[in-house]
Structure 1
């Protein structure tokens, strides 16, 4: 990874958009992102429509996308987001058992699926190290 793309490198912070229909998870994600050196929250969204509008407005590098949301789910939202902004790194997050997720989670373009309870600074840094643009 080049120094310019490394979280915590001088002058660079990975911009994160959190998409989840539950305000409590968005708040928890905001706290984790804020506690992670080299990362900052750019925005939050509670639905597919809000996610696409927010991505247009803030151009996140990393999106934490809930798998299950009312209406358009995170899988379809990921497809739509990546069709428009293909360089965005999307990580699906789920409160459910990861082994019971729809198979489309692995084919929608997301780089990984993370259990919500495993979202912590170390996980964000590792995901970015593995899947960020300078991997």
Structure 2
């Protein structure tokens, strides 16, 4: 079975065209060598693919006839992705939140009105002092 079709069958990609595109971009290697979309996959092969900033490592246990259900995926592949890869993804998510907290940025219309009201109150206070 072709490597792009295999990755689609075991549900790593939503469509086969997305899987083909990932292989063309060089995100997939089979047994340590860059793969073309037409490369055949056999039981015992080791596939490395990069998706969502994670390097997945998959061992092929079998080749399905067609796309399988989510519960049956483990019959055809063994996921050997190190846990550090998922921890790294969590750190990336936390760093993005730390860099810019949600809600920061341009003020909303309500925020702008509150700021203008605050500034107007300050100007009135200064005119009363004089």
Compute the TM-score of the two structures, normalised by the length of structure 1: 0.27
**Between structures 1 and 2, the one with greater strand share:** 1
Q: Which has the larger radius of gyration?
A: 2
Higher relative contact order (CA 8 A, sep 6+): 1
